[in-house]
A and B are shown apart, each in its own frame.
Chain A
Amino acid sequence: MRYGKYRFVASFLAIPLLLYIVFVVSPYLQAIYISMTDWRGFSPNRNFIGLANYAELLGDGRFWRAMWHNALLLIVVPVVTLGIALFLATMTTVAGRRGSVGHGGVRGSRFYQVVFVFPHVVPLVIAGVLFGFFYNPEAGLLNGLLRLVGFDWLTRAWLGDTTFALPAVMAVLIWSFVGFFYIVLSAAMKSLPTDVFEAAVLDGAGGFRTFVSITIPMLTDSLKTSYIYLGILMLDCFALLQVMLPDGGPDGSTEVVAQYLYRAAFTEGRFGYASAIGVALCLVTLVLAIVVLRMGRRERVEF
């Protein structure tokens, strides 16, 4: 009955695999090799120089500053985003107390579920242009609002200020990503067993106590996955910054590794060096994933 099985399998896999190998697998593999050459792009000669690019990277102040910006994004954005998403998800999935069940959202949850995701649907490029104008010193909505309520002393050129440019970008990232993680965490909460919540209510646990002692421990795995996913996004994070602060911000105060890589490759033509930056970025991603996955492994809750 399985007549011509292998021919069929091969015919279905051939084209997609070819496409995938040519455009995805081979570039990744090439990148590792190119990172060990002194290739400057449009000339054919490239020499193998081993780990020299990586050695240069270690002493490159601009790279480390960009890495530091990524690290800040990596810590602040996921923590705040997941915090807000967790709160919103709790409110709309488990906080409402219908009878004694203690499971189910507050009034109007259905409406919130639709609206909370709006910002996430907005492409980051559009969000970048929009919020670039939002922070505009003269015509921006933010300074307009501050003047309206009499806080004139707070107004400033948000994106032109070395202290505030990066936090301003973080706020946009948080605005954009909460919706996605709201969905992820709500789905995780909905799949939690109801009886645990019933038991908590019977034992007289309040909303906050239930959240800390029941919801959070049971969501550890989802939170970790979300953190890794968000972490990968924060290490990349190119589109928004390139639109909002294409020159790396005032005095380079918001340049991230991805922008530095892009500039090294496509402005300065240092392809070997740019690839080394890419490999370094990839290694950091892997380390992050391993650290987060190993963290607090013993606290895992079975249900």
Chain B
Amino acid sequence: MSIDTRTPVSVPPRSPARRAQDGGSAGERGLNAVSHGLLVVWVLLGVVPLLWAVLTSFKSDREIFTSPWSPPTEWHFENFVRAWTTANIGRYFINSAIVVCAAVVLVMLLGAMVAYVLARYEFPGRNAIYYTFVAGMTFPIFLALVPLFFVVQNLGMLGTYHGLILVYTAYALPFTVFFLTSFFRTLPGALVEAAMLDGCSHSGAFFRIMLPLARPGMISVGILNFLGLWNQFLLPLVLMPDQERYVLSQGLAVLAANQGYRSDWSALFAGLVIALLPVLAVYIAFQRRIQDGLAVGALK
């Protein structure tokens, strides 16, 4: 499978002087140079398409088709205005923001409550509940799609914000519970015992002691939930038929599919960049935490 052969980049030559500083035997030096070159190739592969998207979003439609490789001759900032207003990206962006933010807040609160109880209290049925949640991570959403559509419809929540928020919350619960349960187990229980001797209630101990202590874990999971839900496509596709309340990924897909008739490519690219900004911003701001979070969540 020749996937890497059509890379749109070339390997920049590396100066031999810098390699020599790394030490290593003469035989391994050549190999190292090649390996280093491959790392650079992958960096370019990752970054070039994104940079290209950003540059393209400032071009005129004509330029996009006539000179795909050159930077824009004139910076068309109005592409973004057009995308935001005419192409409705602004509305979709706000819809996404409403649904995702509400769902993340809700799933973090409910997920933390479940995880805390599962991690810290002995009661009958505890394991059954835990495994019911964990099983939710392994089944493909596809299986549930058809009945879910009718459940939401029968509750009168089809095409509503709160319907989508509740569904997002429910589907983000398994990961959140799974991750936070193991996190709450690592926290010291003595503090809770002490607080309760001082007359603190069960829920008081949770909100005033354990929840603040769990902040690092909560932030990691919260970010991962945000990224995952912001990227969600399938659930809104089925549950949000109302075009006024489309979320961003849905709106972009429709916009892209409509290009055949209405071609406004520059607005489409501007829309892509607008959609990309929040996830890139969140990633760059929290990249350490995301890496730790992904690593722990995926390995445990």
Contacts and interface: CB of A to CB of B under 8 A. Distances in A.
B142 A278 contact: yes
B299 A184 contact: yes
Interface in A53-92: 76, 80, 84, 87-88, 91-92
Contact of A246 (B136, B140, B193, B257): B257
Contacts of A225: 298-299
Q: Which of B43, B147, B202 has the most CB of A within 10 A?
A: B147
B256 to A, nearest CB: 4
Contacts of B32: 106
What size tier do the contact residues of chain B reach? Answer: 35 or more
A24 B129 contact: no
Interface residues of A, number: 108
Interface in A176-200: 178-180, 183-184, 186-188
A122 to B, nearest CB: 6
B17 interface: no
A112 B45 CA distance: 12
Contacts of A275: 143, 146-147
A140 B45 CA distance: 16
Contacts of A116: 42-43, 46
A17 B216 CA distance: 25
Contacts, number: 284
A189 to B, nearest CB: 11
A59 to B, nearest CB: 22
A227 interface: no
Given A125-B249, A134-B49, A236 B142 contact: yes
Contact of A278 (B42, B145, B290): B145
A112 B43 contact: yes
Contacts of B132: 20, 25
A187 B272 contact: no
A31 B110 contact: no
Given A113-B291, A179-B46, A265-B146, A91 B69 contact: no
B257 A80 contact: no
Contact of A23 (B53, B151, B252, B283): B151
B64 interface: yes
Nearest to B284: A114
B276 interface: yes
20 contacts: A20-B133, A20-B170, A25-B136, A27-B146, A27-B147, A87-B35, A91-B39, A113-B291, A118-B47, A119-B46, A122-B276, A123-B275, A124-B231, A124-B233, A129-B256, A130-B49, A141-B52, A208-B31, A235-B140, A278-B143
Q: Please name the 6 residue pairs, one residue from A and one from B, whose CB atoms are nearest each other, closest first.
A: A187-B295, A27-B144, A23-B170, A30-B147, A123-B231, A8-B202
Interface of B: 1, 3, 6, 8, 22-24, 28, 31-32, 35-36, 38-39, 42-43, 45-47, 49-50, 52-53, 64-65, 68-69, 110-111, 113-114, 116-117, 121, 123, 129, 132-133, 136, 138-149, 151-152, 166-167, 169-171, 173-174, 177, 193, 196-197, 201-203, 206, 227, 230-231, 233-234, 237-238, 249, 252-253, 256-257, 265, 268, 272, 275-276, 279-280, 283-284, 287, 290-291, 294-296, 298-299
